[in-house]
Structures are given as structure tokens and as C-alpha cells.
Amino acid sequence: MIFGAPFIAKTLLTDERTIYPLLAISPIVPIIAVSSVLRGYFQGKQNMKPQSYSQVIEQIVRITCVALFVKILLPYGIEFAAAGAMISVILGEFTSLLYMVYQFKHKKTIKLRTRFFTYLKSSKSTVKELFSIALPSTGSRMIGSLSHFFEPIIVAQSLAIAGISATLATKQYGELTGYVLPLLFLPTFITQSLSVALVPSISEAEAVANKSLIHYRIHQAIRISFASGQSQQLFSLYFPSKY
């Protein structure tokens, strides 16, 4: 990502200024990888508190740092202010990771083995079962990541073909992703929270063949999702101009 940033910024995104945010956000990849493993561990243990608290901490740190860095770097140019916002994202994720590591050390119920690869060779059946779940899940996430990667490229290239300048195209895409889409997908925070919370519960119920509990949880999720949808419709009716 670091080595390909100049090509992505100049050729694919058609705006050389995006190289600074690309370089600034690149260290987040290993941070997200480790924090995702820890979140999956607590989720599997049906302990959602560490994950919830870490997300709150992440948002607080991110918003605070964005307000600080953007104010400091904006006089040097919008590209540096955007890079400061990306650094704020990294700091938020890293703080969340530190909290997750702290919680893992104090609440883990497993012993981390030093001879990991030796045990790995003697447990091929377990590894096979894990990969049968991990590979399809990773594949679906990979498709989503690729689509999100190509989205700004396609939009920028399309606007460039339409004769719009790179600066204006970047501004319009920023308005789309910064204002329109977050407002459009605002109610999805409820469904995403439900999906995270329901997976371990439904998995456990399936393991013990408790079909009634599975149906009950699914009906709960559907009712809550309908409620969020109705709230969004009422909001659009009463505030059509703002919506």
C-alpha cells in the first residue's frame, strides 16, 4: 500500500493530493488484524463488553484527534488535514487495541502455547474445521473490501471522463461519502449491532439444537429492525428538506 500510493493517487484516483492520506492510513492494517482477532475471541466467549467499550474508546479518541489535527494541519493544505484525519483513525484504533489486549490478559481462559507450530501439526482436523469456516468468511469480506477499494477509483475516473476537474471530483466524492451515505445508512448501526450480538447466541443455540431460541432471537432482530426502519421513515416525513 505504501509503495503503490503514488500510482493509486495520481493514476487511479486522479488526484495527487490523496497520496498523503493513503500513506497516513497504511499502518492501520496490522492494527485492525490483531484487534479483529481479539474481538472475535470475546465474541466467541459471548462477552460483548470489551468490544463495546473498545469501540466507544476508539470513537472518543478519533473524534478528539480529528478536531485537533485538522485544526493544526489545515493551514498547510487540505491534503495535510486529510492525512491528520487518517492519523486520528489510526490512533483511535490503536487505543482500542490496547484496551482489548488489556482485557484479554486479564480475562483469558486459555494458555497461549509457545510451541504453536508443533501443536498445529498434531491437530490437523481442528485446523481443517476452522478453515472451513474462516475461508468462506474471509472470501466474502475480501469481495466487500475489493468493491470498496474500486468504488472511489470508478467514481473518480467517471467524473474525469465527464470533464470534471480532479479537485471538484474529489470534493463531490467527499460530499457523497461524508454526508449523503452516512445519513442514508444511519439506521444500519442497529442491524450491525444485532448481527454482532446474535452470532454467538444463535451459534450456541444451534450447537445444542435449541430451535425455539433461534427463532425467538431472529424474531427479536426482525422487530427491532422494523422499528428502526419506521423511525427513519417518520424522520424523512417530518424533516424532508434536511433529510
Nearest by Cα to 20 from 2, 46, 38:
2
The number of angstroms, rounded, from the C-alpha of 136 to the middle of its chain's C-alpha atoms is 18
DSSP state of 87: H
Task: Name the residue with cell 480529528.
Answer: 66
Q: Which residues contact 25 (CB under 8 A, 6 or more apart)?
A: 86, 89, 90
Where does residue 47 fall: left (phi above 0), alpha (psi -120 to 50 degrees), or beta otherwise? beta
Residues sharing a CB contact under 8 Å with residue 242, sequence separation 6 or more, in sequence order: none
Q: What is the pTM of this model?
A: 0.67
Q: What single string gives the DSSP state of each residue in 28-72?
A: HHHHHHHHHHHHHHHHHTT--HHHHHHHHHHHHHHHHHHHHHHHH
What pLDDT score does 208 carry? Answer: 80
Radius of gyration of the chain (CA): 22
Determine the Cα–Cα distance for residues 140 and 162; give it in Å rounded to an integer: 33
For 132-172, the pLDDT digits (tens) are: 878 887 887 788 788 877 877 787 778 778 777 777 777 77
CB 39 within 8 Å of CB 182: no
Using CB atoms within 10 A of its CB, is residue 156 exposed (0-12), middle (13-18) or buried (19+)? Answer: buried
Confidence band, pLDDT 50/70/90 cuts, at residue 120? low
pLDDT 10s digits, 184-199? 777 777 777 777 777 7
DSSP 8-state class, residue 176: I
- Return the pLDDT at 243: 42
Three cell numbers written together for 131: 478453515
User: Is 74 or 240 the better-scoring residue by pLDDT?
Assistant: 74
DSSP-based three-state secondary structure for 158: helix
241 phi and psi angles, rounded to 5 deg: -70, -45
Q: Are 9 and 22 in contact (CB under 8 A)?
A: yes
pLDDT in tens, 37-63: 888 888 777 777 888 888 889 889 998
Contact 66, 88 (CB under 8 A): yes
The answer, yes or no, to whether residue 76 has pLDDT greater than 90, is no
Position 224 scores a pLDDT of 78
* Chain length of the chain: 243
Q: Which of 166, 228, 235 is nearest to 192 (CA)?
A: 228
Per-residue pLDDT at 218 exceeds 70: yes
